[in-house]
Structure 1
Amino acid sequence: MATEQARTTDDGAGTADRSGVPLPLWGVLVAAGLVILCAGLREVADIIAPIFLMVTLVITVHPLRKVLLRWHFPNWLASLLVLIVIYLMMAVILGAVALSVTQLALQLPNYQKAFESLYDWALGTLRQFGVDTSDWRGMLSKIDIGSFTGAAQGVLAGVTSAFSLVGLMALTVIFLAFDGAGARARMLIVRRLKPGVADAFADFAHRVRSYWIVTTVFGLIVAGFDVIALLIMGVPLALTWGVLAFVSNYIPNVGFIIGLIPPVVIALLESGPGMALAVAITYAVINFFIQTLIQPRFTGDAAGINATIAFISLIFWASILGPLGALLAVPATLFVKVVLIDHSPNARWFGALINSDSDDKPKPKKRKRSKPTPPAVSVEGG
């Protein structure tokens, strides 16, 4: 009787669950719990963010283990090779970023005179339109483009500080890589006890692997075309801007702008507004053609979140996990979506608000084609 009374509502408002707690109150409790969880994550962001990054990288490289085992490599050797591959990935990315930022810091002071000339040209243009710039000329003495070198060195310090976590990350990867040998047996046990949980983890592994691989491949393609275009136009530090374009490709929505602004500014100081406009148009064409027209055909439903949620997740995870949160925005959102929403019957309705595909019908599973049964041969006399 009590249960029937709790369920008797107008349009579901005030519906209570089995414990008798009204659903609106449950919403408040869940929101309060999320706030506490986010505050806790922010306090341990320096530990959680690198570990989560390492977990996703180990998942991404895990198919290599299967290939090595198929080639009859011992388990310990397959784990060691997987570990070496992950370390090489970390060294190449961090090393390339550190080298590029160092080159930028060394080159910036050389553009002080070019900046002053550009500033004078801008003031002259404004005077032609009747703008009083008498007080603006004194501002130039307060602007020192060499001060941007300090900012670049600050970025370099942030990059090198990542190496201070290499001890923790290295130990994490070692345990994850060698524990991967028993991952299949553990997942079989989980699947037998909790099939829904096993499906959620398998779905997340597949999607995050597809995301990292596709994003990396197309990031390299975009960076390659950017470097070639910059070399043809004669823009200095072309390789530096190529590395920046590759790294910023992992940041959703605003990554393109982050990779675009520095080469446009350098082109403006080096060759004037015409070259800066040419760089901006070239970047926009390359980005539109590759990342808008071609890349979605390969990504498919790798992430499965719409553009608005991707942008909100960038702001959210960057505020919770710091700069590394911008890099992990899509994988972290993907983990929450797949594990807590897609495979939870009570929360699946929320997936309709964040999914990239508005169709809520389950996709039919592909079935193996069965061989046609040969027609029966009738045997007649004569």
Structure 2
Amino acid sequence: MWWNRRKQAETAPPVTPEPDAPPVQTAPVSPHRTAYIMIGLAGAVVASFGIAAISEIFVWTFFALVLTICVYPLRSWLERHGVKRGVATVAVILAVVLLLGAFAFAFFFSFAQFLALLPQYTDELQTWASNAGAWLSSLGLGQQQIDEITTWFDPGKVLDVIGSVVGSAAGFVTAAVILLTMLMLMAMDSSPVRTLVRELYPRRPLLATAAFAYTFGVRRYMVVTTFLGIAQGVINWIALVLLGVPGAALWGVLAFLCSFIPNVGYFIAIIPPIVFGALVGGWPLVVAVIVVYGIINAVVQSLVQPRVVGNAVALSQSITFFSVLFWAVVLGPMGAILAIPLTLLVRMLLVDSNPNMAWTRAALGDFDEAKKVMEAEDAAAKAERKLRRHPEGNGAIAADVADTGAPSTDAAAG
């Protein structure tokens, strides 16, 4: 009867609502999506070959742009304090030229020291090459492969390579002319930049915001890396002097240069001190150099630099390493040094200024939202483990699980 049905309805357990289904993509997918991807990849290949073809012009022009971005706050500070724009432009140019002059002086001084140092260890290098050849022969390598490897321990071979690089004086003159000319022109053209961005914002707010974020990120990365690289080079120089490694000043300058090459620079900077340390002190000095460089690199590049730079770069380690390799192939050694600013420029043009590509930022290295979710999941998992170990405190621990804002893994599985 009807009263029995009513009683059964009152005693029946409540019906648990079905969980919401994950959202389904409703935007139509283009039938030519694969073709668009292939066209994009082909365009990237053509652009890469085109940049490589004009690398001698492109790299120094872009380097001038990076330097102009880095010194732009000096112009803003001078103009805010009533200095005329022409005077501010001259001050910016002089500041950049002085910085480049100081670096060039340190580089050529260290280079002259290396040219004087290398002939002093000719016999030691040849002995080391012979021992290395005998060891490689014991491993079963052929004589041709052994000769190719041990040739690089020949001081004459090293001097020939260095001479071929330094001998191209015309290339250095061309680079210096392009760099200084572009610095002067960009310094003059940077005067109305703030007004142009202000006028652009109402029409293209995302592009203006992306351009501002790019200049901020590049400036912060380059300035912080420069100061930390100087500190790293000075500390390495002092440590190598105390250890008695020859050419300590040169290896300090090399450590400063390699600090601009993420992930790879450390291994490049440590090779010459290891070689000369082995020549004068054997394996104990080699181990000491590795330990000192490892500690300094870990403190500066793994602890200090990420905290200071923060999220200004927002590139994953894999993309950072690939960008160093890619730009080094396209533009040479300067491409490896400018890999981060170049990659940030590509991201700004393709992702940051395009609202339809915002979802790719997390895949490229912007992990802020993902880190929050992971922290909530870790806190929930920790509270769940406490709940299993101490079942008598179910009430308080369950409250901890609820406070984390993330469901437990068992609950999700159920």
- TM-score, normalised relative to structure 1: 0.82
Aligned residue type for 2:117:
Q
- 5 Å-filtered alignment, 1:92-131, equals 92-119=102-129
Write the distance in 2 (CA, Å) between the matches of 1:330 and 1:24.
29
User: Which structure is richer in relative contact order (CA contacts within 8 A, separation 6 or more)?
Assistant: 1
Partner of 2:190: helix, strand, or coil?
helix
Residue of structure 2 equivalent to 1:261: 271
Residue of structure 1 equivalent to 2:177: 167
Contact map agreement 1:75 1:181 (CA 8 A) in 2: yes
Residue of structure 1 equivalent to 2:224: 214
Contact map agreement 2:260 2:337 (CA 8 A) in 1: yes
CA distances 1:257-296 after superposition (whole Å, capped 9, x unpaired): 1110011101111222221221111111111122212221
Identity of aligned residues (%): 30
Contact map agreement 1:83 1:174 (CA 8 A) in 2: yes
Instruction: Report the CA distance between 1:121 and its aligned residue.
Output: 5.9
1:355 to 365, 390, 396: 365
2:35 to 1, 5, 25: 25
Please identify which structure carries the higher helix content: 2
Change (3 A) 1:22 1:14: farther
1:89 to 86, 99, 102: 99
Matched, 1:15 2:25: no
Instruction: Report the CA distance between 1:203 and its aligned residue.
Output: 0.7
Aligned residue type for 2:194:
R
Contact map agreement 1:211 1:303 (CA 8 A) in 2: yes
- 5 Å-filtered alignment, 1:16-55, equals 16=30, 22-55=32-65
Q: For structure 2, which runs of at least 5 residues remain unmatched after alignment?
A: 1-23, 373-414
Change (3 A) 1:69 1:93: same
1:342 to 344, 348, 352: 352
Residue of structure 2 equivalent to 1:318: 328
Partner of 1:262: helix, strand, or coil?
helix
Contact map agreement 1:68 1:78 (CA 8 A) in 2: yes
Partner of 2:312: helix, strand, or coil?
coil
Partner of 1:303: helix, strand, or coil?
coil
Write the distance in 2 (CA, Å) between the matches of 1:293 and 1:141.
38
Aligned residue type for 2:221:
Y
CA distances 1:19-48 after superposition (whole Å, capped 9, x unpaired): xx6222211111111112112111111111
Partner of 2:356: helix, strand, or coil?
coil
Aligned residue type for 1:286:
I
Instruction: Report the CA distance between 1:123 and its aligned residue.
Output: 7.6
Write the distance in 2 (CA, Å) between the matches of 1:361 and 1:246.
32
Aligned residue type for 2:209:
D
Query: Bigger radius of gyration, 1 or 2?
Result: 2
Write the distance in 1 (CA, Å) between the matches of 2:99 and 2:57.
20
Instruction: Report the CA distance between 1:79 and its aligned residue.
Output: 0.6
Aligned residue type for 1:323:
P
Relative to structure 2, which stretch is displaced further, 99-108 or 249-258? 99-108
Partner of 2:155: helix, strand, or coil?
coil
Write the distance in 1 (CA, Å) between the matches of 2:304 and 2:157.
40
User: How many residues are aligned here?
Assistant: 345
Partner of 1:48: helix, strand, or coil?
helix
Matched, 1:148 2:140: no
Instruction: Report the CA distance between 1:71 and its aligned residue.
Output: 2.3
- TM-score, normalised relative to structure 2: 0.76
Residue of structure 2 equivalent to 1:366: none
Change (3 A) 1:160 1:210: farther
Aligned residue type for 1:29:
I
2:235 to 217, 225, 235: 225
Residue of structure 2 equivalent to 1:180: 190
Write the distance in 2 (CA, Å) between the matches of 1:117 and 1:361.
53
Write the distance in 1 (CA, Å) between the matches of 2:32 and 2:135.
66
Change (3 A) 1:198 1:72: same
Aligned residue type for 2:220:
S
Change (3 A) 1:264 1:198: same
Change (3 A) 1:348 1:125: closer
Contact map agreement 1:101 1:156 (CA 8 A) in 2: no
Write the distance in 2 (CA, Å) between the matches of 1:295 and 1:266.
29
1:238 to 248, 254, 262: 248
Write the distance in 1 (CA, Å) between the matches of 2:126 and 2:261.
33
Residue of structure 1 equivalent to 2:300: 290
Aligned residue type for 2:156:
G
Write the distance in 1 (CA, Å) between the matches of 2:150 and 2:309.
50
Partner of 1:279: helix, strand, or coil?
helix
Write the distance in 1 (CA, Å) between the matches of 2:169 and 2:247.
19
Residue of structure 1 equivalent to 2:392: none
Contact map agreement 2:68 2:186 (CA 8 A) in 1: yes
Instruction: Report the CA distance between 1:342 and its aligned residue.
Output: 2.3
Contact map agreement 1:65 1:82 (CA 8 A) in 2: yes
